[in-house]
Structure 1
Amino acid sequence: MNPDQLFHSAVNAHRNGRLPEAETLYRQLLSLKPSHADALHLLGVLCHQTRRHQEATSFIERALALIPNNADFHNNLGLALQACGQLDQAVSHFNQGLAISPRDTDLLANLASAYHVAGQLPEAIASYRKILHLNPRDQDAIAALPHALQALGIQQQQRGAYAAAEKTYAEAVTLQPQDAALHYNLGNAQRELGKAAEAAASYHRSIELSPHDADSHNNLGNVLRELGQLEQAMVCYQRALALDPLLYHAKVHLVHQKQHACDWQNIEEDIAQIREWVATAPQVQISPFAFLAMPGTTAAEQQQCAENWTRQRYAKLMQEPALLGPTAARKVDTGTQLRIGYLSADFRLHPLASLITEMLELHDRDKVEVYAYSYAVDDHTPARQRIEQAVDHFIDIRPLSIHEAAQQIHADHIDILVDLTGYTQGSRTGILALRPAPIQVSWLGFPGTMGAPFIDYILSDAFITPAAQASYYTEQLALLPTTYQPNDRQRPIANTPSRNTCGLPEDAFVFCCFNQSFKIVPQVFASWMRILQATPQSILWLLECNASARKNLQQAAQEQGIDPARLIFAPRVPMDQHLARHALADLFLDTAPYNAHTTASDALWMGLPLITCSGDTFASRVAGSLLQVAGLHELITFDPAHYETLAISIAQDQALLNRYRERLQATRDSKLFDTARFTQALEALYLRLQKAPAHQLT
């Protein structure tokens, strides 16, 4: 049989699936004609089909040596190389084939697949798009492109590039509108960008397509909560738990929202279960912020919760090489400015602004250069604009990925990076996990330990974090000489309204508490009701946080023998009006174990005495710190009985109340609200931290 007949017979057997016969014939032909390029190529293809990929590459490479410009040879060699795990070489040959035959959709599809496997998703997506440009009806490309886009979106989201992820998912959704997972992931990216309404619409669509997905119900609950739709959010968490009883974080969300709603049914049992998870199930995702507010939790448990959360969320980032490597902290000599970077999700109209803005303005520019790294949505308010003007460099890192943001901070040679957000809403703690600065500090945003080895210090004071509590903080304690909380004395205050305007009786003693409703726990409310019982001419003035809380608190009052009409709810108003109405109250009753923080400063700034009950955790000692600096030590209590007795005695003794008001007024412009003095102390503390022995970067 001559070579042409052998080749024809081999190809015929190959096409008809008689592979052993075809291989025998190819080898016979090559023994007669070793330079038969087509036989070498097809024998290589046959070896690839029978999973002898390394042998396949050898035959096809010999064919290519004979005919270098054959696109099919490059294509099939690429497939064999990919099967051997040699992705870079495979991509090279697919591209060489396309240089010869640029409209070959098989080559493009194989190139896209190789890129996808190699994790080069933008290149894979570009290849799929080229296929669809050449053939808009190519079903394989139509199916593959959304999957590649989804993989890219997930990759972008893991890097914290949420704007890019949103764009990627949105394109995927247009191509595959019936894919529930795409809508779910789009919602996740939108939520990270603060687009709660858009995220809710994406989660709703995901649930329409996949109604039994517990995660979609949970995440819809998260954005409905952010939109103020508390009842609907709790329904979502309940549905999520009905679908997956082991979705622990949905249970944590539900309990925290029940606290916002002051729905205390089974609350003690629920919290006991969550505390058990913290102790025994470190893999369970329990929000450290939600855990802070749960009554009964100890400082040790809060530390464990934060450490669990840090390991779950940031273990991979912590394993990446530190951006600084072995570089030591910058040497700062006399006359050299310290570069302080403030990192926050709350550079906007937010309680944080009422604490830090004047302090930022008063920083001594001979000593410090101030950078603000913002990932807050620009709300275009005067509060945002004032912060932008208060710093030397205002950098909006919201469009950046976590790595890009960390690289920006590192490139700016920041000496001390101060995280003002912590584990609160919108947190991008991953930036700090990458170690962009030699010294990293937690301050103001999160009232507790972050349980993170990449946070070196927590700024506090000796009252909030006494030395005996130091072991409950993974950070070193960096103590300010007075209180840890600064204040902005430049905030506008409206004219004082009348009691009648605010719905308050003219002749009543007005107890008030303007804390958020989640801080009102059953034990505190019971104390309040006993105080009202003992002072019949009094009312309790509360901030109206949500309709559910109002209804549940009124019902709880009635159950404890107090007329619900004695609870009066203050609607939310602009901050200048809110500050002004403090003058109508007589005594502020604080909450525990989560105190008034900024709210306490508001009250004391407006001359309103406050009674607190301090505990053992950071969040439970902030109001006590403020009172101590204000010279009102007597208003700090340490048990509910003393708290109640003190409140009743003040309500029954107008002269005593007047003395407290006078003392508060006398100290108002001294230590507590001396922002210039506070800023000087803060700068001195920063300098001490910078000169301390270098930290072992991890």
Structure 2
Amino acid sequence: MTDQLAKLQQQLSRTPDDPELHYELGRYYLQTKQANAAESAFQHALQLVPEHPQILMQLGNVASLRGDETLAATFFRRSLAQDKQQADVHFNLANSLRKLGQTALAIQHYQQSLQLDPQDAECHNNLGNAYREQGQLDLAVASYARALQLNPKLLHAKVHWIHQKQHMADWQGLEQAIAEVRYALQALPQAQIPPFAFLAMPGTSDQEQLACASRWAQQHYAHIQPLAPPAAKSAGARIKVAYLSSDFRKHPLAYLVTEVIAAHHREQFEILLYSNSHNDQSAEWHAFHAAADQWLEISNMTDEAVAQHMRAAEIDLLVDLTGFTQRSRSGVAAYKPARKHVNWLGYPGSMGMLNGVPLYDAIIVDEILAEVALAEKAIILPCYQPNNARRPTTDAGSRHSHGLPAQGFVFCCFNQSFKITPEVFACWMRILKQLPGSVLWLLEGNVWAAKHLKNAAMALGVAADRLIFAPRTSIEQHIARQQHADLMLDTAPYNAHTTASDALWQGIPLLTVHGSTFPARVSTSLLKQLGLEECICQDWQALEQRAVMLAQTPAALAAIKARLQNHANRLFSPDNFCCQLEQAYQQLLLPSG
């Protein structure tokens, strides 16, 4: 017991009806992330001073600590009903609204907070996050820049600034900013560095990525007390697997794993899907729902409540398919609700260490990916990325209908724009310059990226009209149109993942550079599974030479396409993948596993 706590409790024993003392006690417990004790203290204070705005705000903070943002928003609104001039309460309400998916309303409350306190750097940062979620990347970057002007040490604002500039293909100032983030990871233990954005920063090593994930886990989950170890499993009982994801909907995950989940042998396995996504009424959502023995909506449940549900359900394996990506629910794993906890597919890397032990017991990888730094035990499959047997498709139209030349060689890369680095883009432009009439077909992600990439092409001596931007469309049309491409070019340090599988399924070969980190090796993993080692290059110069050779040698390209077609079943066989996965699950649950 600290001196501060002892002093507060001593004072309360003398004056038990002093609301200020109960309030300060609640603040102490909140700072030490003891939610139950904090709530009790604040409720005592509220009984003594009904509807006091600051006490209501603190009760909202307690609810937010628990992950109950609906309740938190209720308390913050009650507080504002008493006093609308509280910048901190507008800020806290906006944070809860963002987590509840009410981004437009969150922006209004961030703006109201800044009207009252325009020097709040954290509020500018969070406003930037909300703008980002609305697709207003220019406003997001401006908000992050303002946050950094007010507080240059606000590292997570710098990380967000970098990542959204990458999305916009605006590379000015990134090299220095990334160096500053890497230094902060090494030298500033309190710096908050979102791990997913860190993966895409050129130059970061696998060890740095592991350290970043561990730092994030420690900052967010260190206060969580794990549940007691589960009881022994009943002999002969089916293995209960809980898949946890925020992407059981119309999302790239659906084209990778739906059929694998559906293929589980139900005489041995019981499958529960814990969904943190809303029902978007899509065919993908319905397919996931149909693949589950039990389906649970957890968007309105706290991490602790989800963990308690899993423990009551006697889950053997918790498999997190989201990781440190958007709307992460990885705090559930910190409670250790299952017998084993597995990191797979959603986050391309290790989830790191928490309080000296891995946050997850195991990670599903293959031999290529097992070579990078991992906190978890590696479960090695022939290939880590599953795929459905088929992809949705429709009529492909003509080259002309997609703005492509009738005759010229078509290179494509439909990766998100944040994956395109200056080095990668310069390589692509050198390829185009050597092949008159060739074009590069890219995804039209946002207006800023298209503008900046066209300008970058012209600066490198390539006409802007040789970049063709494919507009966003339905997944069926997107898959179908890819057959008009001749060859896909990869990105680094963040490869194509589902996008690579899309192209390969359509019979389009992919050239990649073998990298040193998890996200820089995914394409290598897929190509080795298909026996297409000649498509794996050691550096960008080699990739440039290979791309030009294949464009100039139709017979060589046709041979690769034929081999891709003959070996496609190695990659697009969910039944086979499921058998391999089930064997790995069974092995993991053995006493020595």
User: Normalization by structure 1: what TM-score?
Assistant: 0.79
Per-residue deviation at 1:128? 5.1
SS in 1 for 2:465: helix
Q: 2:248 aligns with which of 347, 361, 364?
A: 347
Per-residue deviation at 1:409? 1.1
Cα deviations across residues 587-635 of structure 1 (Å, max 9, x unaligned)? 0000011100010001111111111111111101111111111121111
Q: 2:359 aligns with which of 448, 454, 462?
A: 454
Amino acid at match of 1:263: D
Cα deviations across residues 57-95 of structure 1 (Å, max 9, x unaligned)? xxxxxxxxxxxxxxxxxxxxxxxx9764339x94xxx7x
Per-residue deviation at 1:378? 2.7
Aligned equivalent of 1:18: none
Q: 2:410 aligns with which of 507, 510, 513?
A: 510
Closer, same or farther: CA 356–147 of 1 in aligned 2, 3 Å: same
Amino acid at match of 1:464: L
Per-residue deviation at 1:494? 1.1
The answer on whether the counterparts of 1:262 and 1:520 sit within 8 Å (CA) in structure 2 is: yes
User: Normalization by structure 2: what TM-score?
Assistant: 0.93
Aligned equivalent of 2:89: 182
The answer on whether the counterparts of 1:314 and 1:433 sit within 8 Å (CA) in structure 2 is: yes
Aligned equivalent of 1:53: none
Q: 1:542 and 2:469 equivalent?
A: no
Q: Distance in 1 between matches of 2:172 and 2:19?
A: 59
The answer on whether the counterparts of 2:22 and 2:41 sit within 8 Å (CA) in structure 1 is: no
The answer on whether the counterparts of 2:19 and 2:46 sit within 8 Å (CA) in structure 1 is: no
Amino acid at match of 1:527: C
Amino acid at match of 2:272: Y
Structure 2 stretches of 5 or more lacking a match?
1-7, 27-36
Amino acid at match of 2:57: Q
Per-residue deviation at 1:329? 5.3
Per-residue deviation at 1:213? 0.7
Amino acid at match of 2:368: F
Closer, same or farther: CA 599–425 of 1 in aligned 2, 3 Å: same
Q: 1:309 and 2:208 equivalent?
A: no
The answer on whether the counterparts of 2:11 and 2:21 sit within 8 Å (CA) in structure 1 is: no
Aligned equivalent of 1:324: 228
Per-residue deviation at 1:661? 1.5
The answer on whether the counterparts of 1:112 and 1:128 sit within 8 Å (CA) in structure 2 is: no
Closer, same or farther: CA 458–569 of 1 in aligned 2, 3 Å: same
The answer on whether the counterparts of 1:512 and 1:585 sit within 8 Å (CA) in structure 2 is: yes
Aligned equivalent of 1:45: none
Per-residue deviation at 1:251? 0.7
Amino acid at match of 2:257: I
The answer on whether the counterparts of 2:348 and 2:519 sit within 8 Å (CA) in structure 1 is: yes
Q: Distance in 2 between matches of 1:172 and 1:494?
A: 53
Q: Distance in 2 between matches of 1:265 and 1:428?
A: 34
Aligned equivalent of 1:71: none
Higher relative contact order (CA 8 A, sep 6+): 2
Cα deviations across residues 227-255 of structure 1 (Å, max 9, x unaligned)? 11111100000011111111111111101
Q: Distance in 1 between matches of 2:314 and 2:250?
A: 29
Cα deviations across residues 160-198 of structure 1 (Å, max 9, x unaligned)? 111211222122222221111111001111111222222
Q: 1:147 and 2:54 equivalent?
A: yes
Q: Distance in 1 between matches of 2:485 and 2:275?
A: 36
Per-residue deviation at 1:666? 1.5
Cα deviations across residues 200-235 of structure 1 (Å, max 9, x unaligned)? 122111112211111111001011111111111000
Q: Distance in 1 between matches of 2:406 and 2:187?
A: 54
Q: 2:475 aligns with which of 550, 564, 575?
A: 575
Aligned equivalent of 1:690: 589
Per-residue deviation at 1:465? 2.1
Q: 1:381 and 2:278 equivalent?
A: no
Per-residue deviation at 1:141? 4.8
Aligned equivalent of 1:85: 12
Aligned equivalent of 2:297: 396
Aligned equivalent of 1:589: 489
SS in 1 for 2:369: coil
Aligned equivalent of 1:48: none
Aligned equivalent of 1:54: none
Q: Distance in 1 between matches of 2:374 and 2:245?
A: 21
Aligned equivalent of 1:298: 205
* Larger Cα-atom Rg: 1
Q: 2:308 aligns with which of 382, 407, 415?
A: 407
The answer on whether the counterparts of 1:494 and 1:576 sit within 8 Å (CA) in structure 2 is: yes
Per-residue deviation at 1:511? 0.2
Q: Distance in 2 between matches of 1:411 and 1:339?
A: 12
Amino acid at match of 2:185: V
Q: 1:369 and 2:270 equivalent?
A: yes
Q: 1:492 and 2:387 equivalent?
A: no
Amino acid at match of 1:689: L
Per-residue deviation at 1:678? 0.5
Aligned equivalent of 1:439: 340
Amino acid at match of 2:511: I
Per-residue deviation at 1:489? 2.6
Amino acid at match of 1:394: W
Amino acid at match of 2:376: E
Aligned equivalent of 2:326: 425
Q: 1:672 and 2:565 equivalent?
A: no
Q: Distance in 1 between matches of 2:109 and 2:77?
A: 10
SS in 2 for 1:86: helix
Q: Distance in 2 between matches of 1:217 and 1:115?
A: 28
Aligned equivalent of 2:133: 226
Per-residue deviation at 1:512? 0.3
Q: Distance in 1 between matches of 2:428 and 2:39?
A: 59
Q: How does 1:593-604 map to 2 (within 5 A)?
A: 593-604=493-504
Aligned equivalent of 1:168: 75
Larger displacement relative to structure 2 (278-287 or 539-548): 278-287
Closer, same or farther: CA 273–113 of 1 in aligned 2, 3 Å: closer
Q: 1:358 and 2:263 equivalent?
A: no
Aligned equivalent of 1:208: 115
Larger displacement relative to structure 2 (624-633 or 567-576): 624-633
Closer, same or farther: CA 631–83 of 1 in aligned 2, 3 Å: closer
SS in 1 for 2:252: coil
Per-residue deviation at 1:377? 2.7
Cα deviations across residues 20-75 of structure 1 (Å, max 9, x unaligned)? xxxxxxxxxxxxxxxxxxxxxxxxxxxxxxxxxxxxxxxxxxxxxxxxxxxxxxxx
Amino acid at match of 1:303: L
Per-residue deviation at 1:563? 0.5
Aligned equivalent of 1:41: none
SS in 2 for 1:263: coil
Amino acid at match of 1:146: P
Closer, same or farther: CA 681–275 of 1 in aligned 2, 3 Å: same
The answer on whether the counterparts of 1:593 and 1:614 sit within 8 Å (CA) in structure 2 is: no
Q: Distance in 2 between matches of 1:607 and 1:621?
A: 21
The answer on whether the counterparts of 2:94 and 2:106 sit within 8 Å (CA) in structure 1 is: yes
The answer on whether the counterparts of 2:25 and 2:41 sit within 8 Å (CA) in structure 1 is: no
Q: 1:261 and 2:137 equivalent?
A: no
Aligned-CA RMSD value = 2.1
Q: Distance in 1 between matches of 2:105 and 2:523?
A: 38
Q: Distance in 1 between matches of 2:64 and 2:70?
A: 9
Per-residue deviation at 1:490? 4.4
The answer on whether the counterparts of 1:329 and 1:438 sit within 8 Å (CA) in structure 2 is: no
Amino acid at match of 2:284: A
Q: 2:510 aligns with which of 588, 602, 610?
A: 610
Closer, same or farther: CA 178–551 of 1 in aligned 2, 3 Å: same
Aligned equivalent of 1:97: none
Amino acid at match of 2:429: M
Larger displacement relative to structure 2 (590-599 or 492-501): 492-501
Q: Distance in 2 between matches of 1:357 and 1:531?
A: 37
SS in 1 for 2:222: helix
The answer on whether the counterparts of 2:489 and 2:511 sit within 8 Å (CA) in structure 1 is: yes
SS in 2 for 1:377: coil
Cα deviations across residues 519-574 of structure 1 (Å, max 9, x unaligned)? 00011001101110111120000001111111111111111000011001011111
Closer, same or farther: CA 586–490 of 1 in aligned 2, 3 Å: closer
Q: Distance in 2 between matches of 1:111 and 1:291?
A: 45
Larger displacement relative to structure 2 (539-548 or 190-199): 190-199
Amino acid at match of 1:461: D
Structure 1 stretches of 5 or more lacking a match?
1-80, 95-109, 132-139
